[in-house]
Amino acid sequence: MGMTMTQKILAHGAGLKKVEAGQLIQAKLDLVLGNDITSPVAIHEMEKFDKKSVFDKDKIALVPDHFVPNKDIKSAEHCKCVREFAKKNDITNYFEVGEMGIEHALLPERGLTVPGDVIIGADSHTCTYGALGAFSTGVGSTDMAAGMATGEAWFKVPSAIKFNLTGKPAKWISGKDIILHIIGLIGVDGALYKSMEFTGDGIAHLSMDDRFTIANMAIEAGGKNGIFPVDEKTIAYLKEHATREYDVFEADADAVYDAEYTIELDKLKPTVSFPHLPENTHTIDEVGEIAIDQVVIGSCTNGRLDDMRIAASLLKGRHVAKGMRCIVIPATQKIYLQCMEEGLLKTFIEAGCVVSTPTCGPCLGGYMGILAEGERCVSTTNRNFVGRMGHVKSEIYLASPAVAAASAVLGRIAGPEEL
């Protein structure tokens, strides 16, 4: 019986020749991640340990991004706690305002995540780095504290589901449409504590940004992680962003999967997730007339350069609907700067959008786009739970940057081909 990609990485991290689904292992960590919400809890937990210092100052990443720049006194105190901890421990990868970004876009951009890594982060969307062929998963702040102190973590080896992606997606079909389709297919608990492993000839047609988006939302299907094989596009991305050595693992031909699905990319349509679960999906031709009040284009799911370019291509020469609020959030300072150099910021502003500094803000109902009672928002974020972006009687519709941009122009949920 062979091993999946994830199982091979975990076996390597644990120093074992072989692992099986359900086995408890202790693996060495290549990176431990925290943000301004989760890190203070971990830091206070570490204060209870006998060991007060981190295991390796180069293998900790602290990224204030949820309420940065600080929105109030409480968020300022949280960031102060993280800042002082980073200074005390001489943390190499602490990202202050001005060099920060949304954590799951920033770390790959900085070359801190590479194939074969075992990564934990006190944020559920840490599974993003599976796009690079790493094992990465979200953990609680207590596990983050233990990881920072010891450089190790306990895992139950997950079983896996294989998703065979075939064909070439149509022009406006992106990674967001693909993962929303999959979540609609299997449900929000369809991959509970399982590795979602993506294979097939269709992967060659997906950009790295598409893959980051798909891996990012594995958690929305209950997945322990999402992971892609390392191919030419992955290697090209790593040459541009990373300098570290890395290990490439491939699934065995006789690896065991709990289930297998074939996703025909050429048959997919723009997909929208209705309130109040990501699994409540509808293709754009099933949506009907739904007026909206706000659009958010950004987040760790869809704030990358490809997303900005797609949105700008649809907004160029057009204007958002009267009364519409359209908030655009480039995910990192580097992406923001590239948007400026390419003229994308000019396009957004001329179209009537507001452009924000990199932040998670509106995604979790923090700031920069809170919804009032009865308001509807089309968002490129990853969750549309009750009250996620504000009032419990507001509504969130998850969609791709293309659908979000078209919706902003038309004032209702709309596909890009309607423009």
Q: pLDDT tens track of the chain, all 419 residues?
A: 899 999 999 999 999 999 999 999 999 999 999 999 999 999 999 989 888 799 999 999 999 999 999 999 999 999 999 999 999 999 999 999 999 899 999 999 999 999 999 999 999 999 999 999 999 999 999 999 999 999 999 999 999 999 999 999 999 999 999 999 999 999 999 999 999 999 999 999 999 999 999 999 999 999 999 999 999 999 999 999 999 999 999 999 999 999 999 999 999 999 999 999 999 999 999 999 999 999 999 999 999 999 999 999 999 999 999 999 999 999 999 999 999 999 999 999 999 999 999 999 999 999 999 999 999 999 999 999 999 999 999 999 999 999 999 999 999 999 999 99
CA–CA distance, 83 with 310 (Å, rounded to integer): 35
Per-chain mean pLDDT for the chain: 96
Q: Which pTM was predicted?
A: 0.96
* H or E stretch at 312: helix 305-315
Task: Please give the structure tokens belonging to residue 273.
Answer: 């997730």
Contact yes or no for 66/101 (Cβ under 8 A): no
Task: State the Cα–Cα distance between residues 70 and 361, nearest whole angstrom.
Answer: 10
- Can you tell me whether residue 26 is helix, strand or coil? strand
Complete DSSP assignment for 176-216: HHHHHHHHHHH-TTTTTT-EEEEESGGGGGS-HHHHHHHHH
Domains parsed from the chain with CATH numbers = 5-263 (3.30.499.10), 271-418 (3.30.499.10)
CA separation for the pair 293, 54 (Å, rounded): 46
pLDDT tens for 408-417 read 999 999 999 9
Give the angle 163-165-169 at the CA atoms, nearest 5°: 145
71-118 tens-digit pLDDT: 999 999 999 999 999 999 999 999 999 998 999 999 999 999 999 999
Residues 336/341/342/345 CA torsion (nearest 10 deg): 50
Classify residue 39 as exposed, middle or buried by CB count within 10 Å of its CB (0-12, 13-18, 19+). buried
